[in-house]
């Protein structure tokens, strides 16, 4: 899990994608999906691409500079929304990087049958419910960027390790047991207490 607090500018995008790459490590790359913010494509290509160094031709003139290309196994799609009168009337997927057949196969094995940003938008809504600093047009706006990041980190940890999710309990076939996202991905074997979360020792 990773999150990033920042604006929707190129530098913030690069830092966020770099964090994602660090979390993924040597694991196989997931299917990336986002809105049409153009900086995502360049950031993903930088982190998950490869650098091509052109061979010297021996001809006169300035030699071609090295350039990057997306990795063969990088799949990235965007959600394109068509609006009329301020309302969304059509949603389409657009493949930026990747193989069409491989992307379709990945979608068949995912919780959703269509490319969308609904999951992350829903998660953003939950974070706004849990952290009043994230609410729009409210008097509870954050006055310190440092403490905003610290509080959001705590909220994200609480959401994943402490708070049980009813849907996950049903999926695990143990509706009588507390089940958290951390348990679902094998990071924990039980739902943490708030005391555990506050006293855990984090190692780099």
Task: Sketch the domain layout of the chain as residue ranges.
Answer: 1-52+62-116, 132-204
**Is 181 exposed, middle or buried, given 0-12, 13-18 or 19+ CB atoms closer than 10 A?**
middle
DSSP bridge partners of 92: 80
Share of the chain above pLDDT 70, in %: 94
**Do the beta carbons of residue 54 and residue 63 sit within 8 Å?**
yes
Contacts of 151 (CB under 8 A, 6+ apart): 131, 133, 142
Q: Would the pLDDT of 193 be above 60?
A: yes
Picking from 22-36, 82-96, 176-190, which range would have the lowest pLDDT averaged per residue?
A: 176-190
Contacts of 10 (CB under 8 A, 6+ apart): 39, 42, 43
Q: Would the pLDDT of 17 be above 90?
A: yes
What pLDDT does 76 receive?
94
What pLDDT does 173 receive?
56
**Do the beta carbons of residue 141 and residue 128 sit within 8 Å?**
no
Q: Could you tell me the pTM of the whole model?
A: 0.76
Q: Would the pLDDT of 138 be above 80?
A: no
Place 158 in a pLDDT band, splitting at 50, 70 and 90: very high
Place 2 in a pLDDT band, splitting at 50, 70 and 90: confident
Q: Would the pLDDT of 30 be above 80?
A: yes
What pLDDT does 5 receive?
85
H/E element, 144: none
């Amino acid at each position: 899990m990773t999150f990033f607090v920042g604006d929707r500018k190129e530098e913030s995008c690069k830092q966020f994608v770099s964090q994602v790459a660090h979390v993924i490590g040597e694991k196989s790359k997931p299917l990336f999906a986002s809105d049409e913010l153009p900086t995502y494509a360049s950031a993903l290509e930088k982190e998950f691409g490869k650098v091509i160094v052109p061979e010297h031709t021996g001809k006169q003139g300035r030699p071609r500079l090295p350039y990057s290309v997306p990795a063969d196994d990088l799949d990235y799609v965007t959600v394109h929304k068509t609006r009329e009168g301020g309302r969304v009337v059509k949603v389409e997927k657009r493949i930026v990087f990747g193989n069409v057949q491989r992307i379709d196969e990945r979608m068949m094995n995912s919780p959703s049958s269509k490319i969308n940003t609904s999951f992350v938008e829903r998660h953003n809504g939950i974070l706004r419910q849990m952290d009043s600093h994230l609410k729009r047009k409210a008097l509870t706006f954050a006055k310190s960027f440092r403490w905003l990041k610290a509080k959001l980190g705590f909220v994200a940890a609480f959401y994943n390790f402490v708070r049980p999710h009813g849907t996950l309990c049903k999926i695990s076939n143990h509706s009588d047991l507390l089940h958290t996202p951390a348990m679902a991905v094998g990071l924990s074997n039980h739902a943490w207490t708030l005391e555990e979360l506050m006293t855990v020792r984090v190692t780099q």
